[in-house]
Structure 1
Amino acid sequence: MQDYIREFYGIIQLIPKGKVATYGQIAKLAGLPKHARHVGFALKNMADDTAVPWHRVINSQGKISLSKEDGLGENIQILKLQSEGVVVLNGKVNLKLFQWIL
């Protein structure tokens, strides 16, 4: 596994329950500003049995960014966020209320 992917996963594990972070935020914290797509790639290719709370990472607009072909995936992410107290309305999270600030 590439070092930056390990770094992404480590940062994502720091996001507390009830909070979210953006792909760009994770990239910046890992020292790779402007590499948000690398974070998305790392999450997309993550093992299914991982303990990394992938569901806490969303796009910079506060939207759930799973592809349309993931059908149930979006529902799983929303359900996981809601179970932690994050309010999701129309597939979007209010970053002013729920964004993790380190």
Structure 2
Amino acid sequence: MRKTLLTAALALGATAAALPTTAPAMAGEGRNAGLYHCRVAPGETRLPAEAIRRTLEELGYRVDRIRMDDGCYDARAVNDSRIPIEARYHPVTGELVRARLRS
């Protein structure tokens, strides 16, 4: 039992020791900075907005609007049950970055 507690304490101590080195790098970024921003390297080819529209329509959504915001595709859509969503997709990979219910 004592050995288990000591191992856990060492693991926590190692984690705590690593935190001060990462905190300064994150300090200037602000809350949620870059969290929903889609960075694209020069020369990367963006997907057409129609590809995002097709993806949502295949999932059963009717797309109201797709636009670029902070480098991401922002889509507003409604499903068959009339539940509105907002979805954010990476413009190169087409990966879903964020989805939430729209109010």
Q: Which has the larger radius of gyration?
A: 2
With normalisation by structure 2, the TM-score equals 0.23
Of structures 1 and 2, the one with the larger relative CO (CA 8 A, separation 6+) is: 1
Bigger share in helix? 1
